[in-house]
Every structure is written in structure tokens, then in C-alpha cells.
Amino acid sequence: MQPLVSVLICAYNAEKYFAQSLAAVVNQTWRNLEILIVDDGSTDGTLAIARRFQEQDGRIRIISNPHNLGFIASLNIGLDELAKSGGGEYIARTDADDIAVPDWIEKIVGEMEKDADIVAMGSYLEILAEENNKSVLAAIARNGEIWKNPLTHQEITSAFPFRNPIHNNTMIMRRSVIDGGLRFNPAYIHAEDYKFWYDVSKLGRLANYPEALVKYRFHQDQTSSKYNLQQRRTAWKIKEEIRAGYWKAAGIAVGADCLNYGLLKSTAYALHEKALSGQDIGCLRLFLYEYFLSLEKYSLTDLLDFLTDRVMRKLFAAPQYRKILKKMLRPWKYRGY
């Protein structure tokens, strides 16, 4: 018999897309589902759509927040309910504006059933960018484009210090993750998924399925569009927290929250003097390279010092060295987030 999968969907004023997204979950080839919808105080027809589907499908349960509490609070309300009710062996997460392919759950749970060490698994994404979608993301991806991610746990964890290698709206995890008390942290607003899946990576192995199993919709009201700058700032904060462990392991102190050229130079010298493995020093060199690019301004003295410093030439690869020089000459060309 198929293990029960609990699907959690949080929705707020999503009536334009919700029926299509919910139908994609209801029609999954994996039939042993319970579907928990947390309506976050919607003022449009979102809740009515959820109730209409519930009348037709007894697998659907609805929690209706009395007023808008926010996405993170709603996620955690849903996870608390699933932990309390002792629902499915697996918990799947997708969004109220995206579209899962029919075998999304079947393919991922099928792989997890073969390997008990995998605590959570996601997949690639396909971009759904309708004409005139007005999302800021439309500038970086086209309709039908596939967003890939690393597949193995080692590849995923190696990527965490640089970016979030997890597509949150594709993820399925074992219920042991939430039974242990892990929840989405409100201190990491608009990038809470990055922090959450990094924390999950400490509990067991992560993996990604090498196929686009969810269509990610671009529109002007999505978080990555409305709160893009805040999201990037929060992601930067998470990266710094992850990287702090790498610096500590190498025995190098770096105050990434108050970077300036003098501090970066001291860190570069400390790194240059360390007898680290190729992989470790390569990783830390990349951190340092990004720090140089994140500084908002340099003085002429800084530029001349960098040009004449032999350690800098030895530490950085030629393309990195040239790009840092370009940043020093044209700081407005690069941003810190």
C-alpha cells in the first residue's frame, strides 16, 4: 500500500491561479494523499475555491486564518497541524500559484522509498512566464526554461554557501523532520526556505530529482518579485551565517558584517598563509572574491594597493583578479546582494 503523503498548500489572495494549482495536486497519480490548505485570511475568492474543491474531494482539509498572518506563520500553522494530527509519512510542499506535473509525488516518493537516508527531495523547475506577467524575474528567465539544481547531497551542501540549491515548491520531506520540531524561522523573512532546507541538510541527506516536476509561475505579486531586494538581503545574511562555519574551521576570523578593504586584505593574507586542501582554499577564495565585489566603494589608495600587492595576484585566479579591478574602477556596476 502507498504511504500517506500530506500536501501542504498556503494560499493568500490567489484566486487567479489557485484552482489550476489545486487541481494539479488533486489529480496526482499518487492517490494516497491528504491535502491541507491554510488560507491566510484571503479577501478574494481563494477560500471559496478551496471549499468548492473540498466538497468534491474528501482528502482536503482547510484551516482558515482569521486575518492575514503572513506566509511563514501560515506554513508553521500547517506544519504544527500535521505534526499534531499524525498525518502522512511524507509531507509535500507546493505553492498556490504553481502547477505540479501529475507524477510529481510519485517520482519523488518512489525514490525516497528506495533510500531511507534521504530526508527530503525536490526537483528541477520549469518556468511559466505568461505574456505581460510583470514579474521582475521575467528579466532573467523565459517561459519554458528549466531551472536545474545539484542532485546529490554532497553537491547540494557544497552549493549552500553560495546560493539556495533547493526549489521549495517542489520539496517532499519525511515527517521526522517536523516531528523533531524544525519550523520555518520568521527571522529570515522572504528567504525562510533557504534557512529551513540548510537546517534540514544537517538531519540527513538531501537530493533533487533530475526532471522539472513543477511549473513555477512568474507574476507581479509573487514574493520574489514584490520583495526582491529584501529577499536578496536575507539570502546574503544566510550565506554569511553558513560561511562563518567554514572560516571558523580554517581558523580565520572575519567580520563579514563590517567589511572594508583593510579587513579583506588582512583576511586574504591569513588565507594565503594557511596550508589548506585545494577544495577548502578554493571555497574560501570564492567567499573572499564575493566580499570584494560586495563593497560599495573603494578609495584610490585601495586600488593602488591592490594593484601592487603580490599576495592578491597569487591568491585570486586571473578572471577573479580582473573582475575585482573592474569593481574598484566602476563600483556602480556591481551590487552587494
pLDDT at 182 over 70: yes
pLDDT band at residue 255 using 50, 70 and 90 as cut-offs = low
Query: Looking at 129-268, which runs of residues are DSSP E strands?
Result: 146-147, 172-174, 205-217
pLDDT at 246 over 80: yes
Mean pLDDT across 308-313: 91
Residue whose grid cell is 502547477: 99
Whole-Å CA distances, 254 to 235, 238, 242, 247 = 19, 16, 13, 7
State which H helix or E strand residue 92 sits in: strand 90-93
pLDDT at 124 over 60: yes
pLDDT band at residue 188 using 50, 70 and 90 as cut-offs = very high
Neighbouring-strand partners of residue 282: none
State which H helix or E strand residue 108 sits in: helix 104-114
Q: Is the dihedral of CA 135, 136, 137, 141 positive or negative?
A: positive
Length of the chain: 337
pTM: 0.86
Task: Give pLDDT, residue 221.
Answer: 61
Dihedral class, residue 65 (left if φ above 0, else alpha if ψ from -120 to 50, else beta): beta
> How many CB atoms lie under 10 A from the CB of residue 67?
7
Task: Give pLDDT, residue 336.
Answer: 45
pLDDT at 138 over 80: no
pLDDT at 253 over 80: no
In the chain, the amino acid numbered 146 is I
Task: Give pLDDT, residue 1.
Answer: 80
Phi, psi of 62 (to 5 degrees): -130, 135
Angle CA 127–24–132, to nearest 5: 35
pLDDT band at residue 140 using 50, 70 and 90 as cut-offs = low
Q: Which of 191, 193, 149, 154 is nearest to 173 (CA)?
A: 193
| Span 40-88, pLDDT tens digits | 999 999 999 999 999 999 999 999 999 999 999 999 999 999 999 877 8
Q: Average model confidence (pLDDT) for the chain?
A: 88
pLDDT at 322 over 50: yes
Lowest-pLDDT range of 116-120, 140-144, 162-166, 286-290: 140-144
pLDDT at 134 over 60: no
In three-state secondary structure terms, 73 is helix
Q: Is the dihedral of CA 245, 247, 253, 257 positive or negative?
A: negative
Lowest-pLDDT range of 128-142, 245-259, 305-319: 128-142
Whole-Å CA distances, 34 to 9, 25, 64, 82, 106 = 11, 10, 17, 10, 14
Lowest-pLDDT range of 77-86, 195-204, 224-233: 224-233
Pairing mode, if any, of strands 99-100 and 172-174?
A: unpaired
Q: Which long-range contacts (CB under 8 A, 24 or more apart) does 250-253 make?
A: 250/274, 250/276, 250/280, 250/284, 252/284
pLDDT at 337 over 50: no
